[in-house]
Amino acid sequence: MYEITQIIDFLNPIQSHVVNPSSSIDSLAYDSRKLHAGQRGLFFALKGQQDGHKYVADAYRKGVRNFVLSDLNFNISAYTEANFIWVKDTVRALQHVAAMHRSHIHIPVVGITGSNGKTIVKEWLAQLLKADRKVYQSPKSYNSQIGVPISLWHMSNDYDIALIEAGISTVGEMTHLEQIIQPTWGIFTSFGTAHQEGFTSTTVKFEEKWQLFRQVEKIIAPSTHIPENVLGDERIIRWGTQDTAKLRIKNIEQLADSYHVQGCYQGILYSWKVPFTDKGSLENCLTCMLVLLELGYSMEVISERILLLRPLDMRLKLKKGKHNSSIIDDSYSNDLASLNIALDFLNQQNQFKYKKLVLSDFEGEEWTPRFEHKLQNLLMRIDLEELLLVGERFRDFTLSTDAKIQVFESTAALLASYNSLDFSDSVVLIKGARKYHLEELSKRLTQQSHETVMQINLKAIENNLRQYRSKLEPSTKLMAMVKAFSYGSGSFEIANILQFNNVDYLTVAFVDEGSELRRAGVKLPIMVLSPHESTFEDIILYNIEPEIYSIKILKAFIHFLKGKELSAYPIHIKLDTGMHRLGFCESEIDLLLDTLENQSQVKIQSVFSHLVGAGDTHFSSFTQEQIHLYQNMVHRIKSTIGYDFIRHICNTSGIVHHPEAHLDMVRLGIGLYGYDANSGMDLEEISVLKTTITQIKRLPQDETIGYDRKGVLQRDSVIATVKIGYADGYSRRFGNGVGKMLINGKQAPTIGNICMDMCMLDITGIEAQEGDEVVVFPDLLEAAHQIGTIPYELLTGISSRVKRIYYYE
Ligand SMILES: *Cc1c(COP(=O)(O)O)cnc(C)c1O
């Protein structure tokens, strides 16, 4: 641990304010939402999309007493117990502090970069080495300008080797990462055209990545990914088919379930099996093998360990569990850094009363007092109801906590006690090292359903939110539309992530949707779009704010509130400026104001309207008229009411095309979910609907497929049946070749009519097997267009019986 004075000496700041010079630092932090009581972190106020100085108060409240700021005018008078350091650039300061820590470490540090395969190579190497070495690795894909310094912080001389991943998006970044990581060896996994945006040419991109290896002794790489002009670098150790490759590949044979490889290393010919069938995995495997050879492992040991490698699904998954529970499955690896990330994610989940953790022992990790102390600190941060520990070494582990603790010597022992365990009303994090196979527990806890699933990427939501926020003034509020089951993608799962990212409001269509969010612990203000009188009880009970769209509903609500003796209840006035759906027209404003003036039961929280064609230039002048009319009506309301309220009119396309109308708040809908056709933004589609092939048939010409003999075979064909039908939301209009699904990278048209629970695809000429994965909408916009609808309808039409699986990667 470092003391703050050491950090100050090292950073050489512009200015500092020290009240407690012996204050010690146990972690680096920049996100106040992820802080936990008792953490003695050093908080860096970073300036990105949001200004980190805004979160100093929150961090201080949570106990942080050491801060690094860049804003010299920041008023620190309220923080009497804290030390402050001012620097020019807080990101660089964070990096410098990590670099300082790194320079105290004397173990070999392997820096890994490349266009693809960085994370896989890092994870596989860790798996291969952990049988006999203590391996420190950067978690998941913490490979950025901020991720790398954070991920290095827990590295220590207790380990035998460290594996650190570095990723860049533009010129100049690798030099910074190199100075932090200070690698002794390098691995270059591959070079391709992915993530090209930040670079003027491929040469520039290559040279930038290569900066990581400025000081290394050895660089391990595949021959084919190294440009000619660099090959002369004597530090490069390659595998490939050329004579000059140190691991020289003589022959590769593809078998049904693996590759059989022959190759030469130091004059000896070997042959071995690689347990994968795709080229990317083969390449990554050979890179890992060469690293192990260079570390002195024998080919015998290596070829045995290679067989145990599995494709990695490294994503943290959130699934619906049995008995009213959510299961977070993260059972492919376990180390302190990735446990930390998973615990953060557990902490964000408020949908059930209890939080429980199933934790396996750590592979390749010695239980030093320091390690044990760190583990205790991590576990104490979270309010756990129950802790199930798997592994012998937990027998002597103590933790002062209120959680109920049980220790099992193995996963088998845990599963044997399965019937006596209770996971109901809980969010359960299952976190385990690969060899413990805790996914077996996750399988038993999650609900089985037919094999059609919708995968939802929660990180993509964060990305899309960030994109839209960057279009807003910092003071403009953001309301996120989560109506219709969040446009088909989930309820509290989405709301939790939005709440964590500090959106200002959520909007649902019906009171039931809002009450479900409240029961799942969502605290944000919630507006409901079309409340009915019969739901007023629930509106009050769940603290939901109604949209008021007519005099009738306004009077009814006021009357209801009177009966409850409530006053100043927040409401949202909807104005009709051209949509002609719900809302007060201009001619009704006087009556509205009369009704409002003589009462104290409701208070206007916001006044809003809705644009009918904000994304379409044909309607530019109509949109302007709507905005103008809205402004006039707002003016009348305001001058009579005499107090301030929030004004908003922009939906997703309004945000992009009418920045002049952002007003006090915007309402973000479809864009959050990744569909905003002509926004020119870098959005990610958050969901993928997938199914699997149930059966494959080879049928001769002239046979017919499905009901009413609609699908007539024009040639001998191969037909696949997949488990999705119109009851799942795959419209009958997609039948007879209109819809196309993606199988192993190829498009396959539907054939015949769509059935209720299934449909058939013509896969003639496509290599596929029963059980293969099928992407239902390879291009959602195109699919919507084909049946004359819009993405909104396709997304919200996907039936609730289709299981949703959430990823946070
Ligand atoms: C659904 C809805 C939105 C969001 O629209 P998008 O086009 O999805 O951004 C905004 N405001 C109101 C009133 C809505 O009903």
Please say whether the beta carbons of 492 and 466 come within 8 A: no
Q: How far is the CA of 581 from the centre of ligand 1 (A)?
A: 13
3-state secondary structure of 229: helix
Indicate the top mutation candidate among 481, 526, 675 to test ligand 1's pocket, ranked by most ligand atoms within 8 A of CB: 481
Report the pLDDT value the prediction gives residue 336, as an integer from 0 to 100: 85
Dump the DSSP string for 259-285.
EEEEEEETTEEEEEEES--SHHHHHHH
Give the best-scoring range by mean pLDDT among 44-48, 71-75, 365-369: 71-75
669 lines ligand 1 (CB under 6 A): yes
650 lines ligand 1 (CB under 6 A): no
3-state secondary structure of 70: coil
Report the pLDDT value the prediction gives residue 510, as an integer from 0 to 100: 94
Catalytic residue, candidates 205, 209, 320, 483: 483
Percentage of the chain lying above the pLDDT 90 cut: 76
Question: What is the mean predicted confidence (pLDDT) over 630-642?
Answer: 95
**Whole-angstrom distance, CA of residue 424 vs CA of residue 188:** 46
Query: For residue 786, which phi and psi values (nearest 5 degrees)?
Result: -60, -30
Report the pLDDT value the prediction gives residue 680, as an integer from 0 to 100: 81
CATH of 455-673, one of 3.10.105.10, 3.40.50.150, 3.40.50.300, 3.20.20.10: 3.20.20.10
Distances (CA, A) of 510 to 13, 112, 489, 793: 54, 50, 16, 18
Does residue 759 carry a pLDDT above 70? yes
Which residue's CA is minimally distant from atom 12 of ligand 1?
A: 610
For the CA atoms of 786, 791, 795, 798, what is the dihedral angle to 10 degrees? -20
Indicate the top mutation candidate among 579, 609, 610 to test ligand 1's pocket, ranked by most ligand atoms within 8 A of CB: 610
- Ligand 1 atom closest to the Cα of residue 667 is 10
Does residue 64 carry a pLDDT above 80? yes
651 lines ligand 1 (CB under 6 A): yes
CATH superfamily for 105-308 is: Mur-like, catalytic domain (3.40.1190.10)
**Whole-angstrom distance, CA of residue 596 vs CA of residue 614:** 31
The neighbouring-strand residues paired with 481 are: 507
Give residue limits of the domains in the chain: 2-95, 105-308, 317-443, 455-673, 687-807
581 a known binding residue?
yes
Does residue 195 carry a pLDDT above 70? no
Confidence of residue 481 (pLDDT cuts 50, 70, 90): very high
Q: How far is the CA of 610 from the centre of ligand 1 (A)?
A: 8
Report the pLDDT value the prediction gives residue 334, as an integer from 0 to 100: 86
**Whole-angstrom distance, CA of residue 205 vs CA of residue 506:** 42
DSSP H or E run through 306: helix 299-306
Catalytic residue, candidates 47, 404, 562, 707: 707
Q: How far is the CA of 236 from the centre of ligand 1 (A)?
A: 55
648 lines ligand 1 (CB under 6 A): no
Please state, rounded to an integer, the average pLDDT across all residues of the chain. Answer: 93
Please say whether the beta carbons of 276 and 258 come within 8 A: yes
Confidence of residue 660 (pLDDT cuts 50, 70, 90): very high
Q: How far is the CA of 667 from the centre of ligand 1 (A)?
A: 6
- In sequence order, what are the residues at sequence separation of 6 or more whose Cβ sits closer than 8 angstroms to the Cβ of residue 563? none
100 a known binding residue?
no
Cα dihedral across residues 428, 434, 436, 442: positive or negative: positive
Report the pLDDT value the prediction gives residue 279, as an integer from 0 to 100: 84
- Range of weakest confidence among 102-106, 203-207, 311-315: 311-315
Report the pLDDT value the prediction gives residue 798, as an integer from 0 to 100: 95
667 lines ligand 1 (CB under 6 A): yes
Does residue 141 carry a pLDDT above 80? no
Indicate the top mutation candidate among 467, 482, 506, 507 to test ligand 1's pocket, ranked by most ligand atoms within 8 A of CB: 507
Q: Tell which residue, 196, 186, 249, 252, has the closest CA to residue 221.
A: 186
Provide, for the chain, the percentages of residues in helix, strand and coil under a 3-state DSSP scheme, each rounded to the nearest 5: 35, 25, 40
- Ligand 1 atom closest to the Cα of residue 547 is 13
Looking at the structure, give the CATH architecture of the domain made up of residues 2-95. Answer: 3-Layer(aba) Sandwich (3.40)
Query: For residue 712, which phi and psi values (nearest 5 degrees)?
Result: -95, 125
Q: How far is the CA of 345 from the centre of ligand 1 (A)?
A: 29
DSSP state letter for 32: G
pLDDT tens per residue across span 763-801: 999 999 888 899 999 999 999 999 999 999 999 999 988
Cα angle value 216/290/362 (rounded, 5°): 85
Report the pLDDT value the prediction gives residue 447, as an integer from 0 to 100: 67
Q: Tell which residue, 557, 563, 540, has the closest CA to residue 596.
A: 557
Q: How far is the CA of 670 from the centre of ligand 1 (A)?
A: 8
Does residue 450 carry a pLDDT above 80? no
- Ligand 1 atom closest to the Cα of residue 483 is 1
Report the pLDDT value the prediction gives residue 139, as an integer from 0 to 100: 82
- Range of weakest confidence among 66-80, 148-162, 437-451: 437-451
Confidence of residue 449 (pLDDT cuts 50, 70, 90): low
Which residue's CA is minimally distant from atom 13 of ligand 1?
A: 610
3-state secondary structure of 116: coil
Looking at the structure, give the CATH architecture of the domain made up of residues 317-443. Answer: Alpha-Beta Complex (3.90)
652 lines ligand 1 (CB under 6 A): yes
670 lines ligand 1 (CB under 6 A): yes
**Whole-angstrom distance, CA of residue 111 vs CA of residue 102:** 13
**Whole-angstrom distance, CA of residue 243 vs CA of residue 214:** 26
Report the pLDDT value the prediction gives residue 446, as an integer from 0 to 100: 86
137 lines ligand 1 (CB under 6 A): no
Q: How far is the CA of 668 from the centre of ligand 1 (A)?
A: 7
Question: What is the mean predicted confidence (pLDDT) over 589-611?
Answer: 96
**Whole-angstrom distance, CA of residue 677 vs CA of residue 467:** 14
Helices 336-348 and 369-380 pack at an angle, to 10 degrees, of 10
Q: How far is the CA of 650 from the centre of ligand 1 (A)?
A: 8
- In sequence order, what are the residues at sequence separation of 6 or more whose Cβ sits closer than 8 angstroms to the Cβ of residue 391? 360, 361, 408, 409, 410, 436
Report the pLDDT value the prediction gives residue 254, as an integer from 0 to 100: 86
Percentage of the chain lying above the pLDDT 70 cut: 98
- Ligand 1 atom closest to the Cα of residue 479 is 10
Question: What is the mean predicted confidence (pLDDT) over 525-540?
Answer: 95
DSSP H or E run through 602: strand 602-609
CATH superfamily for 687-807 is: Lyase, Ornithine Decarboxylase; Chain A, domain 1 (2.40.37.10)
Dump the DSSP string for 377-440.
HHHHTS--SEEEEESGGGGG-----SSEEEEESSHHHHHHTGGG---TTEEEEEE--GGG-THH
Amino acid (1-letter code) at residue 358: V
pLDDT tens per residue across span 370-389: 889 889 988 988 899 999 99
Question: What is the mean predicted confidence (pLDDT) over 733-752?
Answer: 96
Task: Give the strand pairing for 773-775 and 687-699.
Answer: antiparallel
CB atoms within 10 A of CB 532: 13
**Whole-angstrom distance, CA of residue 754 vs CA of residue 694:** 15
Distances (CA, A) of 506 to 448, 480, 487, 608: 31, 5, 13, 15
Helices 458-469 and 492-500 pack at an angle, to 10 degrees, of 50
147 lines ligand 1 (CB under 6 A): no
Which residue's CA is minimally distant from atom 10 of ligand 1?
A: 651
CB atoms within 10 A of CB 219: 22
Distances (CA, A) of 725 to 278, 322, 735, 762: 31, 25, 10, 16
* Longest CA span, the chain: 96
CB atoms within 10 A of CB 565: 7
Q: How far is the CA of 734 from the centre of ligand 1 (A)?
A: 27
Which residue's CA is minimally distant from atom 6 of ligand 1?
A: 669
Amino acid (1-letter code) at residue 247: L
- Ligand 1 atom closest to the Cα of residue 668 is 9
Please say whether the beta carbons of 148 and 177 come within 8 A: yes
Does residue 38 carry a pLDDT above 90? no
**Whole-angstrom distance, CA of residue 527 vs CA of residue 340:** 34
481 lines ligand 1 (CB under 6 A): yes
3-state secondary structure of 43: strand
Does residue 705 carry a pLDDT above 90? yes
Does residue 191 carry a pLDDT above 90? no
Q: State yes or no: is 707 an active-site residue.
A: yes
Please say whether the beta carbons of 435 and 785 come within 8 A: no
Does residue 37 carry a pLDDT above 80? no
Q: State yes or no: is 723 an active-site residue.
A: no
**Long-range pairs, 403-409, Cβ under 8 A, ≥24:** none
- Range of weakest confidence among 65-74, 94-103, 167-176: 167-176
